[in-house]
Amino acid sequence: MTQVSETDAIVAGAGVWGCTVARTLADAGLRVLVLERRSAPGGNCRCRRDPESGAEVHVYGSHIFHTSDPKTWAFVNRFTAFNGYQHKVLARHAGRTYFMPLGLALVNAFFGKELAPAEVPAFIAAETASAGLPGTPRNFEEQAVSFVGRRIYEAFIKNYTAKQWGRDPKELDASIIRRLPVRASYDVNYFSDVLQGIPRWGYNALFDEMLSHPNIDLRTGVDFLKERPKLPAGKHVFYSGPVDELLGWRFGPLPWRTLRFELENAPVADWQGTSVVNYVDADVPYTRIHEFKHFHPEDAETMARPCTTICREYPATWKPGDEPYYPVNDAASAALLGEYRAAAAREFPDVTVGGRLGGYRYLDMDKSMTDAIATAEAFLKKLRNA
């Protein structure tokens, strides 16, 4: 085991961002100490195998790796093979099931039409024109209606969003809806990225392999913020915990949305026929049901078992001590984040703050990896030029 005094850099947090930083530094010859508060690496991608159903249960909600960046794809494929899973999401509305994202399959089913792809833009334009919107969308609702029209918005977006964020969509920033894919085709893959899948041997094996390097010393069950006074000075730290916690929440906690998961084993081989179904209506308290075995269709034995693990997902108001999932991006949180960033830069010049929690931003796995690689490479370049 590497002695702390022999360490070249410290990585605090072994989620996607932290593991990627650690491996990039280790590959370049640096000795890296990784400190993880939980009992194992992987962050919110950590999974467990259900003994009854055999399914790989995504403990913190479903995670699908997808990217359009060849460099990031090449990096992650060094540590695992992917099973080729292509993510498809269904939506339940008013007792019927529709394909998401918002594309030709949904539009034709919802409106009872047989539009061709070339007809969709004009149809949506007519839907949005009839909504009487201002020139520039001022909030989430106006932005969404400007994309898909009021009828689709009311059916598939409005109530789901209100449940997800615990707020009227008129109170949310317009930028949130820009992640939603909208297509004029029958492509029902949820993500437009062609490079996607689930690690064939699971996410836990991926992160174990990433940290399997002679230059990396992983220590779990260690809280960096509590241990920091004992660590030697002069070691650069890559910190991916909450930035407000780094500074003792001195300006107040940054707001998040959290999630509650309700797991159930059902005595059937297949409960819903797909991995994720969204429940978009206001009278259903949860937003999604996950059925995990569908992430590994190549696992014939698990697929055939007369038992399956499902998970109902309930959004909830976050409070300190809860798991933070989605940052609440509004003017107040942006101002508060600015205060924390300025204080962190001023008081901790030897700390690079990043990742989903540190950056207070929603990051897909590939974006987190891409950012982590760039961060580590910039640090290495600085070392070489010193």
Which positions are annotated as active-site residues?
Answer: 179, 183, 257, 288, 313, 362, 364
The C-alpha atoms of residue 285 and residue 289 are separated, in whole angstroms, by 11
Strand partners for 264: 310
DSSP secondary structure code for residue 335 in this structure: H
Angle CA 135–140–144, to nearest 5: 70
The C-alpha atoms of residue 245 and residue 355 are separated, in whole angstroms, by 14
Q: Which amino acid is at 313?
A: E
The C-alpha atoms of residue 377 and residue 381 are separated, in whole angstroms, by 6
Kindly state the tokens that stand for 75.
Answer: 């990096």
Q: Are the CB atoms for 290 and 276 separated by under 8 Å?
A: yes
Write the burial class of residue 270 (CB in 10 Å: 0-12 exposed, 13-18 middle, 19+ buried).
Answer: middle
How far, CA to CA in Å, does 171 sit from each of 45, 139, 253, 314?
Answer: 30, 7, 20, 20
- Helices 16-27 and 203-210: angle between axes, nearest 10 degrees: 30
